[in-house]
Amino acid sequence: MVDTLLEVCVDSVASAEAAAEGGAARIELCSALSEGGLTPTLGLLKTIKKRVRIPVFCMVRPRGGPMVYSSAEEEVMLSDARDLKYAGADGLVFGALTSQGNIHIEFCKSFREVAGDMPCTFHRAFDLLDEPLLALDTLIELGFTRILTSGGAVSAIAGTSTLFELHKIAGSRIIIMAGAGVRSSNVAALLAKTGVFECHASARVK
C-alpha cells in the first residue's frame, strides 16, 4: 500500500508554515498565485527553507499566459532554474510547449540539463496537449519525475477517467499527481476513482 501525499501550493512564508503544520508532505513555491503561479524570489525560498522541514519545489515560469516562450524568456528560465537550484530548492516545476501545442522537447532537454539530479515536475501545460496519453513516454524520456494534471479537464474530479488511464499507463515510470479543484471534500473520491497517490492543492481558507 502506497502512502498518499499532499503537495500544497504557496506564495508566502506564512502559507508555507501553515502547510507544513497542517500535514503537507511537499510545498510548491510560487509567486503571484493570482497569475497561476510564477517564479518565486530567492529570498522567499531561502527564508522558507529555514522555517520548514518538508521539500520545497519551485515554480519556474516568468509570466502568466501561454506556455510558449521566446528565446529570451527561455534564457531567463534557465538562469532562474540554476539560481533556485543553488539557493536550496529541492525540486523544480516547469512546462513548455511549442506554438503547435506540443511539448517543447529541446527546451525541456536544456532545462533538465540545468536541473541535473533534481526532481522535476511537468506542470499543467500538460493539460493543453491534444494527445496527453501519447506524451507520457516523451516526458519519461526527458527525465521528469511527475506530471501535475487535471486529466485535461476543468478540475481533477471532472478528469478522473483520464487520470485513471494516465496512472495505469505510467505505472512506476512517472508519478501522476492530480491537481485543480482538489479539496478535503472530494480528495477521497478522487484517490479512489483514479488510483493516484499524490494530489496538489492550494488549500486556501476563505
Task: Give the single-character DSSP code of 12.
Answer: S
Number of Cβ within 10 Å of residue 73's Cβ equals 15
Output the pLDDT for position 2: 60
Q: Do the Cβ atoms of 177 and 147 come closer than 8 Å?
A: yes
* Alpha carbon distances (Å) from 45 to 14, 141, 203: 12, 29, 19
% of the chain residues with pLDDT over 70: 97
Which of the two residues, 170 and 1, has the higher pLDDT score? 170
Output the pLDDT for position 206: 47
pLDDT in tens, 89-103: 999 999 999 999 999
Element (H, E) at 201: strand 198-201
pLDDT in tens, 111-165: 999 999 999 999 999 999 988 888 999 999 999 999 999 999 999 999 999 999 9
